[in-house]
Amino acid sequence: MNDSEVEIRNHVEPDNPESERSRDLLSRPVVAIIGRQNVGKSTLLNRIAGRSVAIVEDFPGTTRDRIFAEASWNGKNFILVDTGGLEFQDGSVLGRGVRQQAQEAISEADVIIFLTDVKEGLMPLDQDIAGILRRTDKPVILAVNKVDNEKQKAEVAEFYRLGLGEPAAISGYHGRGVAELLDRLAGLLPSRLPAAEVKGAGLGVAIVGRPHVGKSLLLNRLLGEERSIVGDKPGTTRDAIDVALDFNGQNVILIDTAGIRRRGRVEKGIEWYSVLRAMRAIDRADIALLVMDATEPVTAQDTHIAGYVEKAGKGMAILVNKWDLAENKNKSVYNEYVQSRLKFASFAPILYISAKSGQGVNKIMPLVFQVQQERSLRIPDARVNDLIKEAVASHNLPRKGKKVLAVYSAGQSGIKPPTFRFLVNDSSIIHFSYERFLENKLREVYGFRGTPIRLVFKARG
């Protein structure tokens, strides 16, 4: 491959709708569902995320224990969040933890759905939470869940006492009243939030991963100085920290994010909100460094984080930290293991490092810039078209009934992430396996190491 074949561009293509969608994915309004434990928050989120109610696309790796959902209603796109249950602490009338959780939800969300339970009736904790919500300037919708019949609907009137306006009577399980709830929600959502930017000009690099895998220690090692608090307690860093780094004359903004925990280990809901901040950090970065612990198995949360990165169309490298402590140091075996757990992110290169000793850390920034170049590759349409024609001719074409797929032309429509358009006779014939086949052909020839790529199929006419 020579310079005439591939052009490297360092700006974002303004005409790339897929790139634009990726950039603002997590800059969409956030709707937080808050309420006591067992009032049906997860059920409501799953109902809204169901195709029968809203157009939704799950983040890769998150379907089984979904806490985020991308949703759209009446032309308004938003991110829906299940915040976990608020509960009493230490027998207090309003525990400090409850107050913190409610205030965190208020600060992070653009609209709040306060969910209650008609079967349990109006509870003291509902009144305490409502007292906090009445003092916020954020829009609040009071929803009364588990209203499954007309008798229970009559009991909803009791919840007017919370002073949050007209309660929405719903059944998250059966779907009753959910469409009306979403109508109210859509009317309260801002049309679009301004896309978040990193503090300063330069390549944005987010350091992400579970707590206690060594993210802040890695940041300090990259900077060569103590710039982030490093402690023994997992989750020491809660907020994203932006730090400028000059690497061989090129400006880099390192974004050290809060540790992301498995959902069941979130401490009383407080650490959960750092997950949202970390996702927003990924959104405003160009490349994410996913830090994993060599002494622990790849967890579901590692998979979820990688899924968020892939979904946002960002560059990604996997850093296996604490490699000096690993018992089995066979990198080939570990590579296969990681890729088996992160099949959708097999494009991500893997580095083995020790943030504590500095082993392999000097390879990180050169890899970051290599990944950024791969994200910026622009291939002439003629080259893409020829490659796809050869690929199509060498493989059995998918069919639907008697109709066989025909690919008329192919070309590149954008960068960051690299996006390719295909003109076909019927886009509904395309299935996942054939799409993956075409993606693999593009990668075989042009690499695209460290970056997801997007394939867009459109029917002629």
139: domain CATH number is 3.40.50.300
- Edge-first strand order for the sheet with 419-424 is 407-414, 419-424, 454-459
d(CA 263, CA 303): 13
CA distances from 245 to 32, 139, 236, 365 (A): 35, 39, 22, 10
Where is the domain boundary, 375, 391, 419?
A: 375
Tell me whether residue 73 is in a domain. Answer: yes
Count of C-beta atoms within a 10 Å radius of residue 226 = 11
Tell me whether residue 330 is in a domain. Answer: yes
Do both 114 and 101 map to the same domain?
yes
Tell me whether residue 198 is in a domain. Answer: no
Do both 230 and 313 map to the same domain?
yes
Confidence at residue 277, expressed as pLDDT on a 0 to 100 scale: 64
Tell me whether residue 347 is in a domain. Answer: yes
**Nearest C-alpha neighbor of 259 from the set 202, 221, 199, 218:** 218
Torsion angle, CA of 344/318/196/85, rounded to 10 degrees?
A: 70
Counting beta carbons within 10 angstroms of the beta carbon of residue 380, is it exposed (0 to 12), middle (13 to 18) or buried (19 or more)?
A: middle
d(CA 109, CA 132): 14
Residue range of the domain that includes 434 = 379-459
Where is the domain boundary, 320, 342, 375?
A: 375
Tell me whether residue 21 is in a domain. Answer: no
Do both 74 and 43 map to the same domain?
yes
d(CA 114, CA 461): 46
- Give yes or no for a contact between 118 and 144, defined as CB atoms under 8 angstroms apart: yes
d(CA 77, CA 72): 4
d(CA 19, CA 35): 36
Confidence at residue 27, expressed as pLDDT on a 0 to 100 scale: 60
In DSSP terms, 35 is beta-bridged to 115
Confidence at residue 406, expressed as pLDDT on a 0 to 100 scale: 92
Tokens at 184, concatenated:
């109210």
The answer for residues whose C-beta is within 8 angstroms of residue 99's C-beta and 6 or more apart is 132
Do both 221 and 311 map to the same domain?
yes
Counting beta carbons within 10 angstroms of the beta carbon of residue 53, is it exposed (0 to 12), middle (13 to 18) or buried (19 or more)?
A: middle
SS3 at position 217: helix
Tell me whether residue 1 is in a domain. Answer: no
Do both 163 and 243 map to the same domain?
no
Do both 210 and 343 map to the same domain?
yes
Count of C-beta atoms within a 10 Å radius of residue 130 = 20
DSSP code, position 66: -
Element containing residue 369 per DSSP (H, E): helix 364-375
CATH assignment at residue 447: 3.30.300.20
The answer for residues whose C-beta is within 8 angstroms of residue 426's C-beta and 6 or more apart is 400, 403, 405, 459
- Give yes or no for a contact between 347 and 448, defined as CB atoms under 8 angstroms apart: yes
Tell me whether residue 455 is in a domain. Answer: yes
Element containing residue 71 per DSSP (H, E): strand 68-73
The answer for residues whose C-beta is within 8 angstroms of residue 359's C-beta and 6 or more apart is 323, 324, 352, 353
**Amino acid symbol at 89:** Q
CA distances from 9 to 12, 199, 315, 374, 385 (A): 8, 22, 15, 10, 21
Do both 309 and 371 map to the same domain?
yes
Do both 170 and 77 map to the same domain?
yes
- Chain-centroid distance of CA 160 in Å reads 36
SS3 at position 78: strand
SS3 at position 327: coil
d(CA 202, CA 164): 45
pTM reported for the whole predicted model: 0.68
Which residue is it, tokens 């494009």? 347
Where is the domain boundary, 188, 221, 246?
A: 188
Please give the tally of structural domains in the chain: 3
Which residue is it, tokens 């109902």? 47
Which residue is it, tokens 């969409």? 28
Do both 364 and 389 map to the same domain?
no
Do both 221 and 274 map to the same domain?
yes
> How many residues belong to the chain?
461
Scanning 124-204, the segments in alpha helix (DSSP H) are 124-134, 150-154, 178-188
d(CA 200, CA 206): 14
Torsion angle, CA of 276/44/103/277, rounded to 10 degrees?
A: 0
Do both 328 and 408 map to the same domain?
no
pLDDT along the chain (461 residues), means of 10: 38 40 58 86 82 40 52 84 61 52 72 94 91 90 93 92 95 92 92 53 87 86 66 45 84 74 43 60 89 90 85 94 91 93 94 94 96 96 94 90 91 95 92 92 95 93 68
**Amino acid symbol at 178:** V
Do both 163 and 242 map to the same domain?
no
Tell me whether residue 137 is in a domain. Answer: yes
